[in-house]
Amino acid sequence: MADEHSARLADHDTAISEVEQEFAAMYTQVRHVLTRRAAAVHPELTVFGYKLLRELSADEDQQQGVLADRLFADKGAISRIVRQLEGLGLVTRVPDPSDRRAQLVRLTDTARESLDSVLADNRSVLRSRLSLWEIDDIHRLRDLLSKVNETVTEREQVHRDER
């Protein structure tokens, strides 16, 4: 009985490790695509810089604080990358019309042009791939991912309650 129970636990553990490996492989593939897209916009652009430009392209001029929230970064990291992007001629800083003491980060025309051509050529990797799938499989994937997102462990619940 005890052996059967531990064999079952081991199978469970292996299955979970396999899911972790698939997520890791997915992360690596996405990083490779983003690295290639960043290089297509500018040879010295990092993936983080590319993500910042993409935010500006979707939603126009932004305060650095907003960019920090959107990119889950601290303000120091944002201010360093903005300086670097300025150096590459990809962004400029303009006065914020709604707050005299603040500045907004804005895409340059050069950045907008390169970004538009890269984005037009490259839909989300996920979207391109799933467009080849049967809809039933897409629904199955959605339901399982939603279940991962909703399964909150007891320990996490404690952390949430502490907030």
DSSP 71: T
Residue closer to a copy of itself (CB basis): 94 or 145: 145
Residue closer to a copy of itself (CB basis): 94 or 144 = 144
Based on CB atoms, which residue is closest to a copy of itself, 98 or 153? 153
Q: Is 75 in the site for a copy of itself (CB under 8 A)?
A: no
Residue from 7, 10, 25, 94 touching a copy of itself (CB under 8 A): that is: 25
Told to check if 116 binds a copy of itself by CB under 8 A, we report no
Indicate the residue among 94 and 152 with the shorter CB distance to a copy of itself: 152
Binding residue (CB under 8 A) for a copy of itself from 39, 47, 88, 119: 47
Q: What value, to the nearest 5°, has the Cα angle with vertex 36 and ends 56 and 131? A: 80
Q: What DSSP assignment string belongs to 87-125? A: HTTSEEEEEETTEEEEEEEEE-HHHHHHHHHHHHH---H
Site string for a copy of itself, 82-101 (x = CB under 8 A): --------------------
> Is residue 12 within 8 Å of 18, Cβ to Cβ?
no
Distance CA 4, CA 17 (A): 20
105 neighbors 67 (Cβ within 8 angstroms): yes
Q: DSSP H helical segments within the chain, as ranges?
A: 2-41, 47-59, 64-70, 75-87, 109-121, 125-130, 135-150, 154-162
Contact positions vs a copy of itself (CB under 8 A)? 8, 11-12, 15-16, 18-20, 22-23, 25-26, 29, 31, 33, 35-36, 46-48, 72-74, 77, 80, 122, 124-133, 135, 137-142, 144-149, 151-153, 155-156, 159
